[in-house]
């Protein structure tokens, strides 16, 4: 018998904006804190406090998820041989789900930026701004900071850009995202302030993009902070190659937490043995998308049965870099590559004793059941386990089932993907998840994220 879970834009030339270069000091080794450097920060969902109902929050998150997933998967539409070149030009998506606060400049001016594990660049919109998008705070004004320094064209940070430009010895960046969003301006060094009051730290000479020409949406933020694996990401620049987060449900008013450097540890997360042991799985490098966090997914179990899925379905295509399995904080629901999704869907249909709803063209979710169940009918739902190399992620019920605001049905919070698998944040809410770049490991453990 199966085991069952508990019941229920085109850019204008940026050269007009630039002034002469000013020398800047490099970031000190270790990010100014050595091995003990770190901080804690609060993460807010992008729609928090906006007055949306739970149904509206869910609908907006699923819609953003579809847009981001479509750009993450867009390599599949490219001609053979073009994927790696295109991936180096395009950052795959600009939308995100969580905002973190950071101070920029001296004295610091505080901004909320989208945390993105799928890209590297740290940037905000700067004055003078010829083309900018809406944001809740004034644009950062470099002339008001004592520590702002534009970077020269021969700097290591400038050479780390995919497409660096040079004007009067100033490094100019252009960053394109896969969803038509973009940013362009001056690459500069500045002092950044991170963390809550108890752990607040000021770090000098962080390289960032001071954007004068921007397009797209910042989802209630004032910029982006890349947590990817490239040299311009915050993780790489601060020299403490580890961070963790514990995401509360985005339907909850309780914010989530981010831990960086020395504060990123799972050792004291689970006070109860019932939470299970910490599990770890190695990251996999995809040469086509080296900044992203790929994992070796090996299978999926539904209701205690390991589904008959060839592990190659989850693997990276060595010829062009397509496929593979990404863990991504900026995608809400999980997208599973065919034919694995078909197997998961078939398992749910066979194990749940409720009428299946017909999917509409507007709905992202297509494994939905009539809800609520008839009076006095007992209902059990099959448990779901994601299998990785060396680790099994057993999902709590609330991490894979939801009531869809479009259909009103009880739906599997997963969808089909034409290229690759994306493990979204809905599936790792109420897990404490650690990214250890030094040892190239992802670790996780169930956790009451609203309490820690």
| Residues involved in catalysis | 116, 328
Q: Is 260 helix (H, G, I), strand (E, B) or coil?
A: strand
For residue 316, what is the DSSP state?
B
Q: Among 83, 88, 93, which Cα is nearest to 117's? A: 93
Cis ω for the linkage preceding 399 (within 30 of 0): no
408 exposure class (CB count in 10 Å sphere: 0-12, 13-18, 19+): middle
Three-state secondary structure string covering 188-257:
EEEEEEECCHHHCEEEEEEEEEEEEEEECCCCCCCEEEECCCCCCCHHHHCCCCEEEEECCCCCCCCCEE
3-state DSSP: the chain helix, strand, coil percent, rounded to 5? Answer: 15, 35, 50
> Residue holding tokens 């302030």?
193
Which distant-in-sequence residues (6+ apart) come within 8 Å of 431 by Cβ? 246, 247, 393, 444, 445, 446, 447, 449
d(CA 154, CA 374): 69
d(CA 228, CA 428): 18
d(CA 135, CA 105): 18
Cis ω for the linkage preceding 362 (within 30 of 0): no
Q: Which two tokens stand for residue 363?
A: 């709905």
CA quadruple 33, 34, 40, 46: dihedral sign: positive
Say how many C-beta atoms besides its own lie within 10 A of residue 19's C-beta: 11
d(CA 39, CA 259): 6
């Amino acid at each position: 018998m199966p085991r069952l879970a508990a019941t229920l834009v085109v850019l204008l030339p940026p050269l007009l904006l630039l002034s002469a270069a000013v020398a800047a000091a490099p970031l000190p080794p270790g990010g100014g804190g050595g091995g003990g450097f770190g901080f804690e920060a609060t993460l807010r969902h992008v729609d928090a406090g906006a007055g949306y109902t739970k149904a509206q929050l869910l609908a907006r998150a699923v819609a953003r998820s579809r847009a981001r997933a479509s750009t993450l998967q867009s390599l599949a539409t490219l001609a053979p041989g073009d994927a790696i070149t295109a991936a180096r030009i395009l950052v795959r998506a600009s939308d995100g789900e969580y905002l973190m606060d950071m101070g920029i400049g001296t004295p610091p001016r505080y901004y909320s930026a989208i945390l993105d594990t799928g890209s590297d660049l740290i940037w905000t919109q700067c004055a003078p701004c010829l083309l900018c998008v809406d944001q809740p705070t004034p644009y950062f004004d470099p002339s008001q900071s004592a520590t702002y320094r534009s970077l020269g064209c021969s700097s290591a940070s400038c050479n780390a850009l995919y497409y660096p430009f040079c004007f009067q010895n100033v490094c100019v960046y252009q960053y394109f995202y896969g969803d038509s969003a973009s940013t362009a301006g001056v690459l500069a060094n500045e002092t950044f302030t991170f963390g809550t009051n108890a752990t607040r730290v000021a770090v000098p000479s962080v390289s960032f993009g001071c954007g004068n020409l921007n397009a797209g949406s910042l989802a209630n933020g004032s910029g982006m902070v890349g947590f990817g694996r490239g040299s311009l990401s915050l993780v790489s620049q601060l020299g403490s190659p580890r961070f963790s987060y514990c995401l509360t449900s985005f339907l909850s008013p309780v914010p989530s937490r981010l831990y960086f450097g020395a504060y990123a540890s799972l050792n004291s997360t689970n006070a109860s043995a019932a939470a299970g042991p910490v599990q770890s799985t190695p990251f996999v490098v995809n040469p086509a998308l080296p900044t992203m966090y790929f994992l070796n997914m090996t299978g999926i179990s539904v209701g205690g049965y390991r589904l008959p899925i060839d592990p190659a379905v989850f693997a990276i295509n060595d010829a062009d870099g397509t496929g593979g399995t990404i863990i991504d904080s900026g995608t809400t629901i999980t997208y599973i590559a065919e034919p694995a999704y078909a197997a998961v869907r078939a398992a749910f249909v066979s194990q749940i004793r409720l009428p299946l709803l017909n999917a509409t063209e507007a709905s992202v979710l297509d494994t939905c059941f009539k809800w609520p169940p008839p009076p006095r009918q007992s209902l059990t739902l099959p448990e779901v386990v994601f299998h990785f190399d060396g680790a099994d992620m057993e999902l709590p019920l609330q991490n894979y089932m939801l009531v869809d605001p479009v259909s009103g049905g009880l739906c599997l919070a997963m969808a089909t993907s034409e290229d690759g698998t994306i493990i979204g944040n809905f599936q790792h809410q109420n897990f404490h998840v650690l990214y250890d770049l030094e040892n190239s490991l992802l670790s996780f453990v169930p956790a009451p994220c609203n309490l820690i």
